[in-house]
Structure 1
Amino acid sequence: MEQAKGNLMLLLTAFIWGSAFVAQAVGMDYVGPYTFSAVRNLIAILVLIPVVWAFGSPRGERSGLSFGQRLKPDPVTLKGGLWCGLFMSVASLLQQVGLQMTTAGKAGFITALYIILVPILGRFLGRPVRKILLLCVPMALVGFYLLCVKGDFTVSFGDFLIFLCAIFFAAQILTIDHFLLRGANSVKLAWVQFGVTFLVSAVLMGLFEQTTEGALWDARWALLYTGVISSGVAYTLQIVGQKYTEPTTATLIMSLESVFAALSGWLLLGETMSGKELTGCVLVFVAVLLAQIPLPVRKKGSSH
């Protein structure tokens, strides 16, 4: 029952993230990437305060705790939130800047490469790399080439930034798993990571961008959707869902983000892709799916 609940949370996460590419692209018409990131994460922090207050402590202990004690993270959760926030800050900012130079559909598929990068980066944490990745990685690279490389053999700088974003999202997923296994509180972990992302974005906003109240008002719907739904709801669903779902299934479900992103770009923004780009999308998505197939582990001493 808990696994089914976790799977449903992650499926909803993938849908929200995929559709949020459209909101992010629209929001960039009015404000800069650092401003957009800072405001959406500030909204997420405010949205999560009542959630952390209500569910961030064990049920039997809530009545005896003050408001501040209910919000305060334990040392493991604080450390995990700081690391997750650092990785998410870099990933989300790279994604937001990259969306100024590429389409929502392409950005969604390139971001989906984190599903393949998770087991590769996990190797550095002592996790074995399965042989199927010897097929998946070249397939994904060919798909990335068809999707992003133009006729003159150049890659869009926006596509490159989105690819870097996928690397940092993979690091964030591994960090979440690492600290949840060590007993971190999932809701407070999400709250701390939004706080870190807000601070990083706000500093960059103050250094490099100027924004008017009118521009923020024009971007209000995109900011509200990404702040309340994509950040406040979906990232929290990701962390809670990963608590109930083993990593292979979790990453497979979240890879559907790329499909929802392409569909949202087509339905809401009228984006189109050439046959070459569509072929690249198919290769990337097939590689993402194959990378998550659980293969039987050969027992020691077996000759088969």
Structure 2
Amino acid sequence: MSRLQANFLLLISAIIWGSTFVVQQVSMDLIGPMSFTAIRFFLGFIIVVPLATREWKRKSQTSCALNKKTLSLKYLLLMGVIGVILFIATIIQQIGIIHTTVTNAGFLTAMYVPMVPLLGLIIFRKNPHWVIWLAIGFSFAGTTLISGVDSSLELGYGDALVLTSSIFWGLHVLLVGIIAAKTSMPLTVAAIQFAVVTILSAVGAFALETVSIEALLSAFWFIAYAGLFSVGVAFTLQVVGQAHTQPADAALILSLETVFAAIAGAVFLQERIGKVEMVGCAMILSAILMVEVLPMILRRRRRIT
């Protein structure tokens, strides 16, 4: 898969996630965050597990040396760890959304964009191209304009939770890219992380929430959309796409979910997109173009000189 194709898959993920943000908040009036998370990720697991099984069988038929590298207990455990990180990020964000606005939540969640290269630098000593830092600045500024959040933002309980979740989202994006690329088994990574999130959320739901059929039925369509599309399709495409592109680049492309959330609000909720918000969208798009186009221009100039 080419880098362009991989980035297109990430773009589709951003579109789906952008349209799911409002669903996440509305559903919290009907069902608990643990129950909601458990069922949506179970639906996603059901979708991807046949593909992951096929991928696993195909991989197991390759050479012994490759098997030892890709099917080892080490990598399976790492996939499980990614699932735990995804669970923490999802639950903290989901609980935080209950206690804050969609605007604040969208703005604070977008903090994972600078988190990815920063965590990569701290943990793996990997310093990204200077263009990445410039693009992150544009993306962050654009997200601020779209959200309408200004210097008067006061961090409440829900805001603090969503901001904390952005650290785990950044770590998730970073590790998914590394493990998916090293193992060449993105569908297996997706299936295992979905299974881990489902199990941990189900345990939390039965321990901390009142689980009832009535609540599940009342939130059925919200759960179905979030499970089938946000988890089953978008998270799977994220893992597949990140196997063929850099984590920092992926974070910038995925930040487009902010733009698509604004578009979805205008289409389905009649929320108006003003000139300031349009400038914000343009800044995020320019950040993506920086990452995709500027390095190619610089390489061509070096060849000419």
Settle same-fold status: TM greater than 0.5: yes
Match of 1:67 in 2: none
Q: TM-score, normalised by structure 1?
A: 0.79
Contact 2:135/2:291 (8 A) holds in 1: no
User: Structure 1 regions of 5+ residues with no counterpart?
Assistant: 63-71, 298-304
- CA distance 1:236–1:139, shift in 2 (3 Å): closer
Match of 2:81 in 1: 83
- CA distance 1:197–1:284, shift in 2 (3 Å): farther
CA distance in 2, matches of 1:284, 1:96: 28
Query: Which residue identity does 2:229 align to in structure 1?
Result: I
Match of 1:58 in 2: 58
CA distance in 2, matches of 1:130, 1:3: 17
Q: Which has the higher helix share?
A: 2
Match of 1:2 in 2: 2
Contact 2:6/2:245 (8 A) holds in 1: yes
Match of 2:231 in 1: 231
Match of 1:245 in 2: 245
Contact 1:136/1:287 (8 A) holds in 2: no
Match of 2:202 in 1: 202
Match of 1:211 in 2: 211
Contact 1:41/1:195 (8 A) holds in 2: yes
Match of 1:98 in 2: 96
Give the C-alpha shift of residue 237 in structure 1: 0.5
CA distance in 2, matches of 1:157, 1:104: 14
Q: TM-score, normalised by structure 2?
A: 0.78
Match of 2:302 in 1: none
Larger deviation, residues 195-204 vs 135-144:
135-144
- CA distance 1:20–1:84, shift in 2 (3 Å): same
CA distance in 2, matches of 1:194, 1:229: 13
Query: Which residue identity does 2:164 align to in structure 1?
Result: L
Match of 1:179 in 2: 179
Larger deviation, residues 153-162 vs 194-203:
153-162
Match of 2:115 in 1: 117
Match of 1:29 in 2: 29
User: Structure 2 regions of 5+ residues with no counterpart?
Assistant: 63-69, 300-305
CA distance in 2, matches of 1:232, 1:183: 20
Q: Deviation digits for residues 46-86 of structure 1, max 9, x if unmatched?
A: 22222223333327949xxxxxxxxx964244123112111
CA distance in 2, matches of 1:253, 1:141: 15
- CA distance 1:48–1:225, shift in 2 (3 Å): same
Partner of 2:57, secondary structure, is: coil
Contact 2:87/2:201 (8 A) holds in 1: yes
Give the C-alpha shift of residue 34 in structure 1: 1.1
Match of 1:127 in 2: 126
Match of 1:68 in 2: none
CA distance in 1, matches of 2:142, 2:267: 27
CA distance in 1, matches of 2:71, 2:92: 28
- CA distance 1:94–1:262, shift in 2 (3 Å): farther
Contact 1:242/1:250 (8 A) holds in 2: yes
Give the C-alpha shift of residue 126 in structure 1: 0.9
CA distance in 2, matches of 1:252, 1:138: 10
CA distance in 1, matches of 2:143, 2:12: 26
Match of 1:159 in 2: 159
Larger deviation, residues 101-110 vs 29-38:
101-110
Query: Which residue identity does 1:192 align to in structure 2?
Result: I
Q: Deviation digits for residues 167-186 of structure 1, max 9, x if unmatched?
A: 11110111112223432521
